[in-house]
Amino acid sequence: MDHWTLSSEEVLKQLASNKNGLTETEAKQRLEKYGKNELKREKGISALKVLARQFTSLLIVLLIAAAAVSYFIGESLDAIVILAIVIFNGIIGFIQEFRAEKALEALKKMTALKAVVIRGGRKTEIDVELIVPGDILVLEEGNKIAADSRIISEENLGVDESSLTGESVPVSKVKENLPQNTQVADRKNSLFAGTAVVRGRGLAVVVNTGFSTELGKIAKEIQVESPPTPLQQYLDILGKKIIAAVLVAVGIIFAINFFFEGRGLVETFLTSVSLAVAAVPEGLPAIVTLTAAIGVKIMASKRTLVRRLSAVEALGSTTVIATDKTGTLTENKMSVQKVYAGKLSDIKSCREEMLFRIGLLCNNAELDSGDPTEKALVASADSFGIDINKERSKYKRLKEIPFESEKKRMTVICECNKRRFSFVKGAPETVLSLSDKIEANGRIRRLTEADRRELQKTVDGMASDALRVLGFAYKPYDGGDAEKGLIFVGLQGMMDPPRGEVRNAVKTCEEAGIRVVMITGDHELTAKAVAKKIGIENPKSITGSELERLNEKKFEEVVKTTDIFARVDPSHKLKIVKKLRELGEIVAVTGDGVNDAPALKNANIGVAMGIRGTDVAKEASDMVITDDNFATIVTAVEEGRRIFDNIKKFVNYLLTCNMGEVLLIFIASLLFLPLPLTAIMILWLNLLTDGFPALALGTDPAGPGIMKSRNNRTKIIDRRMGAEIIQTGLLIALLSLFVFMQSLNEGVEKAQTMAFTAIVFLEFVRLGRVENNYGMHIWSNKYLVLALLFSIFLQLLVIYGPISPYFGTVPLALGDWITIFTVLVAMFMLDYGLTRFTKHVLNNNLK
């Protein structure tokens, strides 16, 4: 039933109800038919499921398989080390993510626990879950709406719908029926669950409850899994590629050793497993997790709380920020911006005290409570310098003619020093039509047609700046009609102003190659005015109703180029976000209302506001900005980029090291040489020697110009990095093999020790080159220096300490170290030359 298109009498008839409400018997029958008015989650997420989720990535599965194989072939130490890494990684992820998604429970909290209904002709207070279609709701100021309803009667009824529609100004409700195609935000004869009455009173008949309400539809939409982050996607792809490479390499090695060399099955299998162990970057999942966890701690100090660990790096990859307007870009507080009393000015420059006196006295709000528009007028009087309490005590109110949507004005009669005055505020055209005089510069004169034209021109100009304009007039009152023959005083124009820091934040996003798109339930004109004030020049805009008339191809074109989507409902917002993702964008959605929840949930990363944000928005999000400041989002983006760059650094470093180890074993096998590295040596390299420096890379500070680059950071391993990994890995393998072969005449253990030690220090040289690629150096990060020193100490301990027998190493002499040092110098020079070759000769073809 499209209840907004029908008269209230027709709605009552279709629901088999009347103004006396349902009987208790009818209500009970309908409760059985429609169910309770609640949003019940079908099944919660258990701790076991959250824990299990930490062990589902391909890399983790591959590590578990490697541990199992190692155990069954007798390499129990290897198996224990690998499993320790996997378990450690899983525990960290579990701790960070074990906050069950309580979006639907939060939605339930949005509805008041009790509501007053009319049943059997009597007012009755009942639990909101017992409300059924056909019930008559009794509405008063301060009530939360318990279910979607159609208005039967109203007296100056105003409802705050910002949490549902995004509109910052309370909606004045009416009884009249509306056209079929009226959007949710424009259904002024309807009330919606989760919104709140801010003024007036009325009666409404319930038309939908539970999941059938607009709030319930949102609840259903957010019951989806959040999309994987770019890092999750790339690690999954990387895992598949590693598996493919391992299978091919192991097959070749097995065939060479078993069929051509005639080695035993067990020995051949051990060789193949060693290669597989070398290929798998055991430390990568743990280091990614720990780096993200460190980033979470840093971001918390910058007023950003991260709810989903794997989403940390996604913010740094963001290409589009789809932001709500109300409360995110703006202050979510109506404020008088311009006044007119003879001339257009700000509050401080105005000299017409009567303009602010009328706004204060013809008003039922306080500075911190009441209708937002009226609060703005109280605040403007306070800013002008009027003592609010003193003025209201001085002018005693005798009578009020309340605001009505048809009349578009409010009038009060006050007495001061035995003189009575009529004070009127309302729509400018209404107040002007009731005025025949004007007060300006302390003089009262006749209001001419030229004055009216000038005032209308001023009103139009203020409205074009998205200001909500009210007119103010008064007259000495001696009886009769209080609303005729008025003296026009002036205008006050108000809006929900942009936050002061937003303009610079938007500029920073533009420099960083991040597109800012506004998606709001507010009016198009208001949204465009805010966009201009925050630095979005010549914004392209479209409304929700216009979107619905577009075919799929045209919709895609609009999404690519539009800056503002106005008067949209939750389904529009969700559709826009999904389309942006389909187009390959990494989408961050910001918001604070119930209406934002589906988009927050379906974005690559949802960012909720901490102060004004509803519980629904917070629980549907990946991050919460605790100060509700858009500028903080940009700071978080910078931190995300730092984390993302650091992840790229250690992925580059780790995979280069692993490539070197794999190629060393692979080439040695092709040359029918003994294994240069044992399985335990490879694990030591990947976990400790590589792991500590790689982890320290995660604490690197942001590189120069990190927010000036338009690189979208959507790829971890691009073609250039891939080429670097292969060529440098091959260089490490060949130099290590050279050292190994040079020492073979002194025994396999000596040769393995030399190759083992050489590859450790060759990888450290590569670490310096990776830092240099990002405009950094090793000394930029004290933790990296400490990690290198610690890793060197561990390596010396393995060679010279009491644990050397477990690794099969022997002590090295001075001459051995000179050989290793010579190889390091060669590595530095060759690596530098190859990097220059890639950058300049290939001239960016490998980007």
Q: Could you tell me where in the chain the CATH 3.40.1110.10 domains are found?
A: 335-495
User: Hey, what amino acid is at 356?
Assistant: F
Residue 280: its pLDDT value, please? 63
Residue 164: its pLDDT value, please? 77
Residue 227: its pLDDT value, please? 55
Rounded CA-CA distance 135/205 in Å is 6
367 within 8 A of 360, measured Cβ to Cβ: no
Q: What is the pLDDT of residues 106-153, one digit of tens each?
A: 434 443 468 899 999 999 999 888 999 999 999 987 788 989 999 999
Map 426-441 to HEC letters: ECHHHHHHCEEEEEEC
Overall residue count recorded for the chain in this entry: 847
For residue 806, name the pLDDT band (cuts at 50, 70, 90). confident
For residue 370, name the pLDDT band (cuts at 50, 70, 90). confident
Rounded CA-CA distance 117/120 in Å is 10
Q: Are strands 435-440 and 443-446 parallel, antiparallel or unpaired?
A: antiparallel
Q: Are strands 486-495 and 443-446 parallel, antiparallel or unpaired?
A: unpaired
Residue 717: its pLDDT value, please? 75
Rounded CA-CA distance 697/529 in Å is 44
Start-to-end Cα distance in the chain:
57
For residue 54, name the pLDDT band (cuts at 50, 70, 90). low
Residue 186: its pLDDT value, please? 87
Residue 81: its pLDDT value, please? 65
Residue 224: its pLDDT value, please? 54
Among the ranges 96-105, 226-235, 301-310, which has the highest mean pLDDT value?
301-310
Of residues 746 and 293, more confidence is placed in 746
Is residue 847 pLDDT above 50, yes or no?
no
**Mean pLDDT calculated for residue range 65-69:** 73
Residue 109: its pLDDT value, please? 47
* Percent with pLDDT over 70 in the chain: 83
Cβ-count burial of 16 within 10 angstroms (0-12 exposed, 13-18 middle, 19+ buried)? exposed
For residue 96, name the pLDDT band (cuts at 50, 70, 90). very low
For residue 33, name the pLDDT band (cuts at 50, 70, 90). very high
Q: Could you tell me where in the chain the CATH 3.40.50.1000 domains are found?
A: 311-331+499-628
Residue 571: its pLDDT value, please? 80
For residue 241, name the pLDDT band (cuts at 50, 70, 90). confident
Of residues 162 and 318, more confidence is placed in 318
Nearby residues of 685 by Cβ (< 8 Å), 6 or more positions away? 657, 661, 677, 756, 759, 760, 763
Is 3.40.1110.10 the CATH classification of the domain at 335-495? yes
**Mean pLDDT calculated for residue range 260-288:** 62
The CATH number for 3-41+105-219, chosen from 3.40.630.10, 1.20.210.10, 2.70.150.10, 3.40.109.10, is 2.70.150.10
Residue 183: its pLDDT value, please? 84
For residue 551, name the pLDDT band (cuts at 50, 70, 90). very high
Rounded CA-CA distance 697/807 in Å is 27
The CATH number for 311-331+499-628, chosen from 3.30.420.130, 3.40.50.1000, 3.40.50.150, 3.40.50.10490, is 3.40.50.1000
**Mean pLDDT calculated for residue range 574-579:** 93
Q: What is the pLDDT of residues 765-780, one digit of tens each?
A: 988 888 887 778 788 8
Superfamily of domain 228-301+638-841: Calcium-transporting ATPase, transmembrane domain (1.20.1110.10)
Rounded CA-CA distance 311/298 in Å is 15
Rounded CA-CA distance 422/429 in Å is 18
Q: What is the pLDDT of residues 693-750, one digit of tens each?
A: 877 887 888 887 788 765 555 567 777 788 888 889 999 999 999 999 999 999 999 9
Residue 102: its pLDDT value, please? 40
Residue 111: its pLDDT value, please? 36
**Mean pLDDT calculated for residue range 517-543:** 90
Residue 404: its pLDDT value, please? 76
Residue 646: its pLDDT value, please? 85
Is residue 426 pLDDT above 90, yes or no?
yes
For residue 249, name the pLDDT band (cuts at 50, 70, 90). confident
- Catalytic entry in 148, 324, 596, 615: 324
Q: Is the pTM of this model over 0.75?
A: no
Mean pLDDT across the chain: 83
Reported as half-sphere exposure (CB side, CA atoms, 13 A), residue 613 has a value of 30
**Mean pLDDT calculated for residue range 620-648:** 83
Q: Tokens for 390?
A: 């003193």
Q: Which residue has the tokens 């060789």?
A: 271
Is residue 104 pLDDT above 50, yes or no?
no
Task: Compute how many other C-beta atoms are within 10 angstroms of the C-beta atom of residue 529.
Answer: 18
Cβ-count burial of 388 within 10 angstroms (0-12 exposed, 13-18 middle, 19+ buried)? middle
Per the annotation, the verdict on 324 as an active-site residue is: yes
392 within 8 A of 398, measured Cβ to Cβ: no
Q: Could you tell me where in the chain the CATH 1.20.1110.10 domains are found?
A: 228-301+638-841
